[in-house]
């Protein structure tokens, strides 16, 4: 019998069935949303109880644990935490104009990242999963109780379009052997609004970027991107590198670091209106697992993230190789990926050997 798990931080509430006490991390808009959620505590402490209930009503959540049941990787109690973060391109409503295509209600996982927060919450590793990776998707049951058959050699983002969040988590856990403690999803419109509420994000491009598909046209130099430009940057693939999803991932990772730095310099705690506007936008932008499905839980989760700076974030892409049969697809480099997952399971840094010589996308250094 294992030793009794003890809280790592008395400020964190215990969760039924958790493997670790909630202490978390963020990607793309997760980084924004979680940080802003921490500020909600200030509003609550000011006696603005109605704000709590309004923001609480904004949050959408999915009971991932119930959908997946007990057939999951073993819980590990080493003080770390793993979060699957998805950026979804739902083709309906306000997202139609941003995502393109018909208003058919369909959705895909446009961006997928595993965020591993190390014990002590001073540093994190982020592993991007290319959406075009060919994987074996496991049999899974979605949040509505519908079961979907397994499939071999399908694109990774088909998991989300087939069975939503639950099947995406199931596929990631099958791929990595790591149990996801949390799930956070951000959509197109939410991401764009968050960047605008922050007043834009500063980046420097070393090359011109022009991509008519993502509506992005940037000259080499320093820019402050508004929400639409930022969305174009994290979605572009044809304007940089080899035109693959791997190049886009490199841009996303550079943007995330710039976003983290931007967040730390926004003085929302001294501006109640800006604080509320950010919190309102952030809570509307995200869908979470049910453990994070309230302002109180999200704020507690966010409290442990504020000390992680961009300089303490390691960002890599899951080791892959180009598919010899189709250069627009990639396949998992099994041996090197195992080095990544083994390191994260043990709460250790990802070794350099894990990503040396793997397919990259040739967009590194384009954005800083």
Q: Is residue 140 part of a domain?
A: yes
Residue 106, pLDDT score: 52
Residue 137, pLDDT score: 96
What is the mean predicted confidence (pLDDT) over 81-91? 82
Residue 207, pLDDT score: 85
pLDDT band at 45 (very low <50, low <70, confident <90, very high): very low
160 is in which domain, residue-wise? Answer: 28-199+272-354
Residue 139, pLDDT score: 96
pLDDT band at 211 (very low <50, low <70, confident <90, very high): confident
Q: Is residue 229 part of a domain?
A: no
Q: Is residue 20 part of a domain?
A: no
pLDDT band at 104 (very low <50, low <70, confident <90, very high): very low
What is the mean predicted confidence (pLDDT) over 170-189? 93
pLDDT band at 250 (very low <50, low <70, confident <90, very high): confident
Number of domains in the chain: 1
pLDDT digits (tens, 9 = 90+) for 274-327: 777 878 888 888 899 999 888 778 777 776 677 787 888 899 999 999 999 998
Residue 153, pLDDT score: 95
Average pLDDT along the chain: 79
Residue 226, pLDDT > 90, answer: yes
What is the mean predicted confidence (pLDDT) over 28-56? 52
Q: Is residue 91 part of a domain?
A: yes
Residue 222, pLDDT > 60, answer: yes
Q: Is residue 145 part of a domain?
A: yes
CB burial string 85-98: b at 16+ within 10 A, e below: bbbbbbbeeebbeb
Residue 270, pLDDT score: 57
Q: Is residue 253 part of a domain?
A: no
Q: Is residue 194 part of a domain?
A: yes
**263 versus 336: which is more confidently predicted?**
336
Residue 206, pLDDT score: 87
Residue 38, pLDDT score: 41
Q: Is residue 241 part of a domain?
A: no
Residue 209, pLDDT > 50, answer: yes
pLDDT digits (tens, 9 = 90+) for 6-28: 333 433 334 444 444 444 433 44
**14 versus 337: which is more confidently predicted?**
337
Residue 40, pLDDT > 80, answer: no
**Percentage of the residues of the chain whose pLDDT score is greater than 70:** 75
Residue 265, pLDDT score: 65
**38 versus 304: which is more confidently predicted?**
304
What is the mean predicted confidence (pLDDT) over 135-143? 94
Q: What is the CATH number of the domain that holds 319?
A: 3.30.420.590
**Percentage of the residues of the chain whose pLDDT score is greater than 90:** 38
Residue 87, pLDDT > 90, answer: no
If DSSP states are collapsed to H, E and C, what string results for the chain?
CCCCCCCCCCCCCCCCCCCCCCCCCCCHHHHHHHHHHHHHHHHHHCCCHHHHHHHHHHCEEECHHHHHCCCCCCCCCCCCEEEEEEEECCCCCCHHHHHCCCCCCCCCEEEEEEEEECCCCCCEEEEECCCCEEEEECCEECCCCCEECCEEEEECCHHHHHHHHHHHHHHHHHHHCCCCCEEEEEEHHHHHHHHHHCCCEEEEECCCEEECCCCEEECCEEEEECHHHHHHHHHCCCCCCCCCHHHHHHHHHHHHHHHHHHHCCCCHHHCHHHHHHHHHHHHHHEEEEHHHCCHHHHHHHHHCCCCCCHHHEEEEECCEEEECCEEEEEEECHHHHHHHHHHHHCCCCCCHHHCCCCCCCCCCCCEC
pLDDT band at 259 (very low <50, low <70, confident <90, very high): confident
What is the mean predicted confidence (pLDDT) over 72-98? 75
What is the mean predicted confidence (pLDDT) over 244-270? 76
Residue 230, pLDDT > 60, answer: yes
**51 versus 215: which is more confidently predicted?**
215
pLDDT band at 241 (very low <50, low <70, confident <90, very high): low
Residue 22, pLDDT score: 44
């Amino acid at each position: 019998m294992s030793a009794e798990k003890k809280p790592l931080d008395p400020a964190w509430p215990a969760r039924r069935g958790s493997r670790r006490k909630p202490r978390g991390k963020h990607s793309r808009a997760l980084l924004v949303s979680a940080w802003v959620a921490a500020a909600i505590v200030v509003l609550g402490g000011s006696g603005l109880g109605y704000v709590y209930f309004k923001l609480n009503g904004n949050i959408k959540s999915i009971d991932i644990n119930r959908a997946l049941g007990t057939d999951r990787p073993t819980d590990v109690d080493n003080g770390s935490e793993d979060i699957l973060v998805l950026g979804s391109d739902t083709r309906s409503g306000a997202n139609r104009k941003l995502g393109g295509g018909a208003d058919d209600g369909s959705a895909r996982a446009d961006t997928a990242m595993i965020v591993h927060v190390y014990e002590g919450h001073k540093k994190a590793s982020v592993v991007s999963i290319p959406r075009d990776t060919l994987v074996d998707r496991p049999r899974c049951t979605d949040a509505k109780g519908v079961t979907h058959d397994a499939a071999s050699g399908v694109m990774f983002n088909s998991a989300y379009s087939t069975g939503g969040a639950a099947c995406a988590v199931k596929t990631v856990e099958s791929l990595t052997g790591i149990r996801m403690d949390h799930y956070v999803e951000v959509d197109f419109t939410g991401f764009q609004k968050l960047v605008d509420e922050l007043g834009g994000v500063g980046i420097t491009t070393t090359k011109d970027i022009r991509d008519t598909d993502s509506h992005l046209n940037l000259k080499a130099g320093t820019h402050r991107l508004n929400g639409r430009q930022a969305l174009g940057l994290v979605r572009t693939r044809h304007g940089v590198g080899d035109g693959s999803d791997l190049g886009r991932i490199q841009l996303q990772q550079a943007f995330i670091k710039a976003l983290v730095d931007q967040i730390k310099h926004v003085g929302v705690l001294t501006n109640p209106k800006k604080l509320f506007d950010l919190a309102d936008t952030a809570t509307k932008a995200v869908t979470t697992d049910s453990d994070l499905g309230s302002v109180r839980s999200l704020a507690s989760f966010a409290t442990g993230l504020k000390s992680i700076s961009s300089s303490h974030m390691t960002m890599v892409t899951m080791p892959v190789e180009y598919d010899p049969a189709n250069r627009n697809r990639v396949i998992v480099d099994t041996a090197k990926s195992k080095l990544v997952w083994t390191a994260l399971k043990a709460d250790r840094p990802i070794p350099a050997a894990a990503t040396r010589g793997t397919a990259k996308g040739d967009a590194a250094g384009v954005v800083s």
